[in-house]
Amino acid sequence: MSKVRIKALLQTAGTGQEVVVSGWVRSRRGNKTISFIELNDGSTIHNIQAVADANLFSDEFLKDVSTGACIRVSGNLVASQGSGQAVEIQAKEIHIYGTADPQVYPLQKKGHSLEFLREIAHLRPRTNTFGAVLRVRHHLAYAIHKFFNDKGFFNLHTPIITGSDAEGAGEMFHVTTFDLKNTPRTEDGNIDYSQDFFGKETNLTVSGQLEGELGALALGLIYTFGPTFRAENSNTPRHLAEFWMIEPEMAFHDIEDNMDLAEEMLKYLVAYALEHCAADLEFLNKMYDKELLNRLRSVIDKPFTRITYTEAIEILKTCGKKFEYLADWGKDLQKEHENYLVEHHGGPVIVTGYPKDIKAFYMKQNDDGKTVRAMDILFPWIGEIIGGSQREEDHAKLLKRVEEMHIPQESLWWYLETRKFGTCPHAGFGLGFERLVLFVTGMTNIRDVIPFPRTPKNAEF
């Protein structure tokens, strides 16, 4: 007897063979003579139907084969009598691994709200929706590695604990082994981090970029794909305190090459998902968002619009629409502005040339003295999905910017040194993985595209 997963079973569809399938019961229905068990093992959105004859299985036994129970079914694969599936299993033997008392098992066949499912994140992977989302998430992660590997990029593992508090991308979580009720103090009353585990103040990283650059200036083309932490108290449907980021960094690439790569990558990833996650995406399209598949295809079809920040402000100022926040040169674009730009251009927009004062110290300065070679990619449904730039490779210019922005140099000496020794033009960007998964699945809340979300006041599972 062959032990198979349901996905493979439904694909081969060779009837007449004896099979063994294990999984979780989605539902059981039937009458006195026959029971139909819908079984799912997580390999696919589709269930296999097992048919249990009352001559072989007593009522008493089948009572425990209820929604949520985990069972193993052995039997013959036969052409299905009913509609809705090509094959089914004629059960000969059923083993119950674990029951799920219907009185208390929280997942019943009826649909549950996504909010409710967040409260039972330990069980929600067993729903159709989260099965689909988590499978899409897996395929996208795999596709990212494949995309970069096929292009000759090397995966660089950058540290999760960082000693520099100068990454500048957001508020950080402290990492310490101190007893917080009794921290060692220096003579002037400050916390004495020299006695802490690393002998200095350390945090969880907000970005692997700075170390990524060190890799690019040796290996040429690298990417990181790791967890990233931001201690901002932003309770939005687009922000997590712990999320995953993909950060390629490329030597000998300028801002144009950077945009080309980012656009190619996003199109590749969306096309990959359409090809490899068809059943799951069709389910999500049907259940949550009838425009999902169209939106995904539209992103692949045409070039992304590229405009400068200055042009963007001009568009926002003259469009006649009333915004909550005024669009004004020198100010950061708000979510409502990003949404308008995407709608106005009917698809993804890449904005470049931001004012230097609203962007990070490491971005390459333009000759106008006012703007930097930054790029943000704005996506329908999402807003900012990628932020990146060409990096300042000139030591003197970079140092001047560090000083102007009061960035503590001592913790960045190693970064600055790369501009002294064999510097070169280079560029890179950061793609928020969950924002990508949000876009591809059509989910509306970022808490629903990561298995166990971390947000303010929420770290239960």
In the complex, which residues of this chain contact ligand ATP (CB under 6 A)? 169-170, 230, 239-240, 243, 245, 384-387, 430, 432, 434-435
CA 325 from chain center: how many Å?
29
Nearer to ligand ATP, 385 or 440 (CB): 385
Q: What's the CA gap between 434 and 18, in Å, rounded?
A: 41
Cross-strand pairs, 379: 383
Nearer to ligand ATP, 68 or 353 (CB): 353
Binding partner selected for residue 230 from Mn ion, ligand ATP, none, CB under the kind-specific 5 to 8 Å limit: ligand ATP
Binding partner selected for residue 75 from Mn ion, ligand ATP, none, CB under the kind-specific 5 to 8 Å limit: none
Q: In 10 A of CB 189, how many CB atoms?
A: 7
What is the nearest approach in angstroms of Mn ion to the Cβ of residue 430?
A: 7
What is the nearest approach in angstroms of ligand ATP to the Cβ of residue 126?
A: 25
Q: What's the CA gap between 90 and 21, in Å, rounded?
A: 12
What is the nearest approach in angstroms of ligand ATP to the Cβ of residue 430?
A: 3
Nearer to Mn ion, 208 or 387 (CB): 387
Binding segment for Mn ion (CB under 5 A), chosen from 204-212, 222-230, 366-374, 384-392, is: 384-392
Which class for 162: exposed (0-12), middle (13-18), buried (19 or more C-beta within 10 A)?
Answer: buried
Binding partner selected for residue 419 from ligand ATP, Mn ion, none, CB under the kind-specific 5 to 8 Å limit: none
Residue type, 28: R
Q: What's the CA gap between 407 and 420, in Å, rounded?
A: 18
Residue 181: helix, strand or coil by DSSP?
coil
Q: What's the CA gap between 422 and 63, in Å, rounded?
A: 72
What is the nearest approach in angstroms of ligand ATP to the Cβ of residue 206?
A: 7
Which residue's structure tokens are 């619009």? 305
Rg, the chain, Cα only: 27
Considering only residues 75, 248, 348, 387, which one is a binding residue for Mn ion as defined by CB under 5 A? 387
Give the contacts of 434 (CB within 8 A, at least 6 positions apart): 240, 243, 244, 446, 449, 450
What is the nearest approach in angstroms of ligand ATP to the Cβ of residue 85?
A: 39
Residue nearest to ligand ATP (CB): 432
Give the contacts of 317 (CB within 8 A, at least 6 positions apart): 327, 328
Binding partner selected for residue 430 from ligand ATP, Mn ion, none, CB under the kind-specific 5 to 8 Å limit: ligand ATP
Give the contacts of 249 (CB within 8 A, at least 6 positions apart): 209, 212, 213, 215, 216, 221, 222, 223, 224, 426, 427, 428
Binding partner selected for residue 337 from ligand ATP, Mn ion, none, CB under the kind-specific 5 to 8 Å limit: none
Cross-strand pairs, 355: 371
Nearer to ligand ATP, 41 or 376 (CB): 376
388 interacts with Mn ion by CB under 5 A: no
Nearer to ligand ATP, 45 or 386 (CB): 386
Binding partner selected for residue 295 from ligand ATP, Mn ion, none, CB under the kind-specific 5 to 8 Å limit: none
Cross-strand pairs, 89: 50, 77
Q: What's the CA gap between 270 and 156, in Å, rounded?
A: 24
What is the nearest approach in angstroms of Mn ion to the Cβ of residue 245?
A: 11
What is the nearest approach in angstroms of Mn ion to the Cβ of residue 171?
A: 15
Nearer to Mn ion, 75 or 387 (CB): 387
Which residue's structure tokens are 């890449």? 350
Cross-strand pairs, 36: 29, 51
Binding partner selected for residue 240 from Mn ion, ligand ATP, none, CB under the kind-specific 5 to 8 Å limit: ligand ATP
What is the nearest approach in angstroms of ligand ATP to the Cβ of residue 340?
A: 16
Binding partner selected for residue 428 from Mn ion, ligand ATP, none, CB under the kind-specific 5 to 8 Å limit: none
Nearer to Mn ion, 23 or 387 (CB): 387
Nearer to ligand ATP, 336 or 384 (CB): 384
Binding partner selected for residue 254 from Mn ion, ligand ATP, none, CB under the kind-specific 5 to 8 Å limit: none
Strand pairing class (48-53; 34-40)? antiparallel
Q: What's the CA gap between 207 and 167, in Å, rounded?
A: 7
| HSE-up of residue 355 (Cα within 13 Å, Cβ side) | 11
Nearer to Mn ion, 88 or 247 (CB): 247
Residue ranges binding Mn ion (CB under 5 A):
387
